[in-house]
Homo-oligomer: A and B are copies of this chain.
Amino acid sequence: MNRTNTVVLPYLGGTLTIGRGPIVVAAGPCSIESADHMAISGARARSSGATLYRGGIFKMRTSPTSFQGLGYPALDFIASAKQKMGLPFISEITDPRQIEAMLSVVDIFQVGSRNMYNYELLKELGRGQTPVLLKRAMSATIDEWIKAADYVVQGGNSSVILCERGIRTFETATRNTLDLNAVAYVKAHTNFPIFADPSHGTGRADLVAPMARAAVAAGADGLLIEAHDHPSCALSDADQAIGFDELAELVKSLEPVARAIGREIQT
């Protein structure tokens, strides 16, 4: 199979290369909330140092009675809101039947940890050319995760980014256990670009910054960070979101860490 070691996206009139080059920061709210909110928070994400904007349209929630995301209606305003904020957009897909509608607004399809084993979805994404960010399932071995990525690659789409987001363990002080061993392992033993998500990986806003720095030191090619203009008002995952001021400070603190290992942060 033809695994690639970089994923290339159009970016600010040029291109953004994810993988062996500068480290990228993807930031944004857990859920897309409105056109205005997307434009404003996207602009703030960008000015804080993020190069990708993340936000959920279709949310995976444990309970069927929890907020499930804005869904299809959001697709109407996202194209224009995206243009205002100027960052490539990454959003989660939860059903192969969403692909067509999302294609026009999404630059990277995120497959969440709950869908890592949804091989029918992965096969369908493999038939397209849009890059896929594949989160590790809560208790997937690294080997299963790589093989899940191969479901996409086998279909002809070699633009797959892996994303470590914390595994499920017995620990209760943190929501999940961010497995940076896995980041270092994927870096050493595969070609796939590898991201880390310190927000879900810790579930605690106070641990996001040190673990983001640790992920960069371990070799991550990118970070996925939940940031919100009013973290405590986020429609979902409020405990782990940081504010944009904190994000700006965090991105600044990542630069010397990246340089320490011979890399830089994408600006």
Task: Give the B-binding residues of A (Cβ under 8 A).
Answer: 60-65, 94-97, 114-115, 117-121, 123, 137-139, 141-144, 147-148, 150-151, 154, 167-174, 177-182, 184-185, 187-188, 201-202, 204, 206-207, 210-211, 213-219, 253, 256-257, 259-261
Q: Which residues of B contact A117 (CB under 8 A)?
A: 60, 114-115
Contact of A188 among B60, B64, B207, B259 (CB under 8 A): B207
A214, B171: Cβ atoms closer than 8 Å:
no
Once A96-B97, A151-B64 are accepted as A-B contacts, the answer to whether A180 and B260 lie under 8 Å apart by CB is no
Separation of A181 and B188 alpha carbons in the complex (Å): 22
CA A117 to CA B187, docked complex, whole Å: 28
When the two chains form the complex, which single residue of B119, B171, B215, B259 contacts A94, counting CB atoms closer than 8 Å?
Answer: B119
In contact, B118 and A171 (Cβ under 8 angstroms) = no
Residue pair B174, A261 in contact (C-beta under 8 Å): no
Interchain nearest-CB distance for A143 vs B (Å): 6
Assess whether A60 is in contact with B119, with CB atoms less than 8 Å apart: yes
Most buried by B among A64, A96, A137, A187: A64
Chain B residues near A257 (CB-CB < 8 A): 217, 257, 260-261
Q: List 20 A-B contacts (CB under 8 A).
A: A60-B119, A62-B147, A62-B148, A64-B150, A137-B138, A138-B138, A142-B171, A142-B174, A167-B171, A169-B170, A169-B179, A177-B179, A178-B181, A188-B206, A213-B217, A214-B218, A217-B257, A256-B256, A257-B261, A259-B260
Q: Which of B139, B181, B207 has a CB less than 8 Å from the CB of A168?
A: B139
CA of A137 to CA of B173, assembled, Å:
16
Q: Is the CB of B179 within 8 A of A171?
A: yes
